[in-house]
Amino acid sequence: MAKMHLIPYQVEEIKDTAQEIPQGIQMIQAPDVWEQADEGSDNVIAIIDTGCDTSHPDLEGKVIDGKNFTDASDETEYADGNGHGTHVAGTAAAAAGEEGIAGVAPNAKLLIVKVLDENGSGDYQWIIDGINYATDWEGPNGEKVRAISMSLGGPEDVPELYEAVKRAIDSGIPVVCAAGNEGDDRPETDEYAYPGAYNEVIQVGAINFDREIAPFSNTNDEIDIVAPGVDILSTYTDQQYARLSGTSMAAPHVSGALALVTSIAESQFDRKLTETELYAQLVRRTVPLGYPKSAEGNGLLALDILNRFEDLFQTFNTAF
């Protein structure tokens, strides 16, 4: 069987310091709903990737647990020999401290599931085991995973992979996947990578800061949503920061957003929501960009849009 790989991504820059709310986080309006969502607290996001640099100052205390499924000898050792997993983790949930950067959901916790080695390569079985682990995982205080984030892909549709993904979703966990970077800049031609192309997952395409679909972003009839994926600043190994580009960078914007949306919607409904309901709440917070559905799905994530509509209606009503 073929290997599963990191979706190829571009390293734009590596630097030692950063002190900002990254542009992508602002673009999806995350800071505007932080107060309402308590920054996503009490939600655990599973990052299924190359591991994580847990000593990074912006990720300290963020990791609630983890496991290594690669053929390394120690399954409790999930350090990141690649950089990709640390970058994804930071976008989803880096702490918004005095120094450093903020992730989408700064109060969410991370479950680090290492399924790819330092070369970004892994067996399908490692990924299947990792998904099942995240689905079944329970924290010391009964915490469960509320979103799974996967910025990886392969050309093969493996039935066992599909079963693992469906099992997670049936357990109430939204599964967020990068669309892939085999795009040819033509929305009318389809490019598929798995697990992203499964109908049941939330498949994320990438845009740049000018709200244009990234030329590399896969387009197909299963794209659900787009998020920033070009020149994305986040945490990196050796306690550094890096700007990377790829649909890999877009996916954790959505997994982090799910932590915020879950906090907001579940406090409004006063109960736990199903995976379908959480997906609906996410899609309510999108804005179409004018591209074909095969490129943008429901459009760009805009977390504060409902509050902005409400303000608009209030103004509208007082005018009459």
Residue 224 annotated in active site: no
**Contact by Cβ (8 Å): 133, 122:** no
Query: End-to-end CA distance of the chain, in Å?
Result: 66
How many C-beta atoms lie closer than 10 Å to residue 84's C-beta?
29
Nearest-angstrom CA–CA distance, 198 and 18: 36
Query: Which is catalytic among the residues 149, 151, 234, 248?
Result: 248
Residue 87 annotated in active site: no
**Tokens 């079985």 -> residue:** 125
Chain centroid offset of residue 260 CA: 12
**Alpha helices per DSSP H over 137-285:** 159-170, 247-269, 275-283
- Burial class (CB within 10 angstroms; exposed 0-12, middle 13-18, buried 19+) of 40: buried
Nearest-angstrom CA–CA distance, 134 and 160: 16
- Using DSSP's 3-state secondary structure scheme, residue 187 falls into coil
CA dist list (Å): 44 to 20, 107, 127, 144: 24, 9, 19, 7
Chain centroid offset of residue 38 CA: 19
How many C-beta atoms lie closer than 10 Å to residue 102's C-beta?
23
Residue 84 annotated in active site: yes
Query: Which is catalytic among the residues 84, 87, 123, 151?
Result: 84
The residues facing 154 across adjacent strands are 194
**Tokens 């920054």 -> residue:** 39
How many C-beta atoms lie closer than 10 Å to residue 206's C-beta?
29
* Residues annotated catalytic, as ranges: 49, 84, 248
